Amino acid sequence: MVFSSLFFLYLFLPLCMLSYAATKTIKSRNTVLIIFSLIFYAWGEPLYVLILILSAVVNYILALLIERYRDGTGAKAALVFSLVFNIGMLGIFKYSGFIAENINAVFSADIEPPDIRLPIGISFYTFQIISYIVDCYWEKVHAQKSFPKFLMYVSLFPQLVAGPIVRYSTIESEINMRRTTIDDLSSGITRLIFGLSKKVIIANNLSTIVDSFFGSEIKGLSVMGTWYAVILYAMQIYFDFSGYSDMAIGLGRIFGFHFDENFNYPFICRDVSEFWQRWHISLGTFFRDYLLYLPLFGKRRKYANLFLVWFCTGLWHGASWNYVLWGLYFGLFIFIEQLVGKKRMKKIPIAVKHVYNKLVIIIGFGIFYFENMKELGNFFKNLIGLNGNKFIDSFVTISLENNLYLIIAAVLFCFPVAKAVGQLVQKSRRFCYVTGTAQVAVNICLLLCSSLLLVDATNNPFLYFRF
């Protein structure tokens, strides 16, 4: 089941909200969320919901063991077992085929790659569980004594299948006690509708354009056609994933949870390091807190840790070498920026920094798109015309003319334009009533437009479902 479906919007979610509102105690409300969350996950993964429950059971017990044997070797043993179990589960379901293929390629072996379907959201809920276990070991949080409450944390449907990666410490108190205010409900619904609009109105339409350029052999694309398509793909990824995050955060607010932000207008960044402080924030902070500062290679070899983090960041996104290359590519530029230093980076003219980082980011998304190494090579050649292709052709100009308004809207909403306008209006008390009325009207219009576009949509997955 996906958020951007009429079934979810007009049946599943209303039933969940009504059932939630009909209960009065926190225990019964948690039970409602557990039931609907497991139904939500089992709708598309009827068997793999058992994997989710198994992970919850095993890690619930291990966290209690860590708490019980805090000062002994039992805590370390429970931590190690948890890491082996969780990373092992991720390795089996996500990377076993990739490992077999590479062993065959390197050693001329004949291992049959296992045909294992990837459970949706396993990367996200596994990292949530790991953060919980490590925080228990570091005594940042206490182990949850109630299994139903822990199961709710692991399975909570708003952020289960595509993030953000919500840490237990963020919602620990809200698991035990929370209430949904009128402001929570209003803000949550607005955020939900805005996220839906990002996905359905902008991302899906950008996807159609990108597929028309990159969906087949790209060797014959013009130089401008290649740049045009990869720029649109960068915006498509942003609106698709940030749209999901907005919907997840909005749904959380509706049920009284306050998740951390996952995107903060990344394209306004002044360098590559800042881009990754604004993009997929929950993943970046996970690797920063649980891997970057661990002295795995010694305190004097911090750059080895840096490249390990970016290797893992790339590999987390998928079992393919282009994702590893993509991670190390960004790691290299962050390494260069660290060598240059913050003081010297500040002295570079702002226009130069914007051109530099946008080129790096856009090319990076091209690496992200092409899993086939031959096609990735053609992509790089196309960027500078080494395939003997034209500089520009009618395919590009016609596409640009036909989609001009969509592209302008996409570019504008990559930046905090709407946020700035809203803040200006909110400063004047005279417009409070008008603003509230206008917000309702905008929400209704966006929901209707999105719903109409979803009527004929047969397959409407979020891009990060496959990670």
Mean pLDDT of 68-96: 91
pLDDT tens digits, residue range 415-430? 887 777 666 666 655 5
Overall average pLDDT of the 161-177 stretch: 89
What confidence score (pLDDT) does residue 424 get?
65
pLDDT at residue 426, rounded to an integer: 62
- Judge whether 284 lies within some domain: no
Residues 305 and 161 both lie in one domain: no
**What pLDDT is attached to residue 215?**
83
Q: Active-site residue numbers?
A: 317
Whether pLDDT at 126 is above 90: yes
Answer yes or no: is pLDDT of 14 > 60.
yes
Average pLDDT value for the chain: 89
Say whether both 94 and 238 belong to one domain: no
- Give the pLDDT score at 121: 85
Backbone phi, psi, residue 15, to 5°: -65, -40
For 146, residues 6+ apart whose C-beta sits below 8 A from its C-beta are none
Regarding whether 214 and 272 lie in a shared domain, the answer is yes
Task: Return the pLDDT at 218.
Answer: 87
Claim to verify: residue 158 and residue 215 sit in the same structural domain: no
Question: How many structural domains does the chain have?
Answer: 2
Residue 297 has pLDDT above 60, yes or no: no
d(CA 110, CA 434): 69
Residues in CB range of 243: below 8 A, 6 or more apart: 195, 196, 197, 198, 199, 202, 203, 462
How far is it, in rounded angstroms, from Cα 220 to Cα 389? 6
Q: Which of residues 304 and 432 earns the better pLDDT score?
A: 304
For range 162-184, the mean pLDDT: 89
Q: How many CB atoms lie within 10 A of CB 108?
A: 7
pTM over the 0.85 mark: yes
Confidence of residue 15 (pLDDT cuts 50, 70, 90): very high
263 assigned to some structural domain: yes
Cα 237 to chain centroid, rounded: 10
Q: With respect to residue 364, please indicate whether it lies within any of the assigned structural domains.
A: yes
* Average pLDDT for 51-67: 95
212 versus 71: the higher-pLDDT residue is 212
What pLDDT sits at residue 318?
A: 86
Same domain? For 312 and 390 the reply is: yes
The pLDDT-based confidence of 223 (bands split at 50, 70, 90) is very high
Helix (H, G, I), strand (E, B) or coil at 348: coil
Kindly state whether residue 1 falls inside one of the protein's structural domains: no
Q: Do the Cβ atoms of 414 and 267 come closer than 8 Å?
A: yes
State the pLDDT at residue 355.
94
Give the rounded percent of residues in the chain with a pLDDT score beyond 70.
Answer: 92
Q: Of all helices (H) and strands (E), which one includes residue 277? A: helix 272-278
In terms of domains, do 199 and 141 share one?
Answer: no
Residues 6+ apart with CB under 8 A from 236: 203, 206, 207, 210, 463
Q: How confident is the model at residue 401 (pLDDT cuts 50, 70, 90)?
A: very high
Which tens digits make up the pLDDT trace of 320-335? Answer: 999 999 999 999 999 9
Q: Is the confidence at residue 138, as pLDDT, over 80? A: yes
CA angle 14, 19, 20 (to 5 degrees): 95
The percentage of residues in the chain with a pLDDT greater than 90, rounded to a whole number, is 64
Residue 466 confidence (pLDDT): 62
Nearest partner of 189 among 17, 44, 391, 412, judged by Cα:
17
Q: C-alpha 349: how far from its chain's center?
A: 32
| Phi, then psi, of 414 in degrees rounded to 5 | -75, -15
- Establish how many alpha carbons lie within 13 A of residue 331's alpha carbon, considering only the half-sphere containing its beta carbon: 24
* 3-class state of residue 113 by DSSP: coil
The yes-or-no verdict on residue 101 having pLDDT over 70 is: yes
Tell whether the model's pLDDT for residue 118 goes beyond 90. Answer: no
Find where tokens 């089996």 sit. 92
pLDDT in the model for residue 44: 74
CB 94 within 8 A of CB 118: yes
Taking 70 as the threshold, does the pLDDT of residue 301 lie above it?
A: no
- Taking the C-alpha atoms of residue 435 and residue 290, their distance in angstroms, rounded to an integer, is 43
What confidence tier does 295 reach under pLDDT thresholds 50, 70, 90?
low
Q: What are the distances in angstroms from CA 452 to CA 197, 200, 201, 402, 457?
A: 11, 10, 10, 21, 9
- 405 plus 364 within the same structural domain: yes
Q: Same domain, yes or no, for 296 and 350? A: yes
Which residue in 310, 241, 77, 59 sits closest to 249, CA to CA?
A: 241
Cβ-proximal residues to 5 (8 Å cutoff; 6+ apart), any chain: 454, 457, 460
Whole-number Cα distances in Å, 369 to 69, 289, 463: 46, 28, 11
> Where among 133, 161, 178 does a domain terminate?
178
Which tokens in the block code for residue 73? 């070797």
Overall average pLDDT of the 171-186 stretch: 90
Among 138, 153, 178, residue at a domain's last position? 178
DSSP secondary-structure letter at 257? -
Cα angle 450-422-411, degrees, rounded to a multiple of 5? 55
Residues 197 and 157 in one domain: no
Shared-domain flag, residues 145 and 206: no
Contact residues for 120 (Cβ-Cβ < 8 A; gap 6+): 41, 44, 45, 48, 161, 465
Please indicate, yes or no, if residue 220 is contained in any of the structural domains.
yes
Q: Which of 159, 178, 197 is the last residue of a domain?
A: 178
Check whether residue 149 and residue 202 sit in a common domain: no
Q: Is residue 326 part of a domain?
A: yes
376 found inside a domain: yes
Quote the tokens at residue 430: 């005279």
The answer to the question of residue 285 being in a domain is no
Range of the domain at 51: 6-178
Higher pLDDT, 217 or 35: 35
354-389 pLDDT, tens digit each: 999 999 999 999 999 999 999 999 999 999 988 888
Tally Cβ neighbours within 10 Å of residue 14: 11
Supply the pLDDT for residue 28: 94
315 shares its domain with 336: yes
